[in-house]
Amino acid sequence: MKLGDAFFNWLQMHIVSQARPEDEAAKDTLDFFALILVEDHGVSNLEVLPIEDPMKIWIGYDHEGEYHKHCFDRESAEKLLDDINSNPIYNNQ
């Protein structure tokens, strides 16, 4: 998996896990992508940064001894959570 794809997948699952803390599948999937980032790409100290930006979500991480920041389109990153929340199969509706 490409590094950018792994970051995006991790971010989507982080958003879902934060919004749905009881969702064990989301947590397991988040852990899976975190493992890919660590083992396959050498990323550490991955975090969502508290930068107020209505259009972007920022992450920070260490890679090869350097600190990096990267942003993702907020709407794209939050789409998985929106899809889950709009599907009654995944909700107690």
The model's pTM is 0.91
For residue range 65-91, list pLDDT tens digits in order. Answer: 999 999 999 999 999 999 998 987 766
Given this model, what pLDDT does residue 10 score? 98
Structure tokens at 2: 């490409």
The pLDDT tens digits of the residues spanning 13-49 come to 999 999 999 999 999 999 999 999 999 999 999 999 9
Q: At residue 61, does pLDDT exceed 70?
A: yes
Question: Helix/strand/coil (H, E, C) string of 17-54?
Answer: HHHCCCCHHHHHHHHHHHHHHHHHHCEEEEEECCCCCC
**pLDDT at position 87:** 83
Q: Is the pLDDT of residue 59 over 50?
A: yes
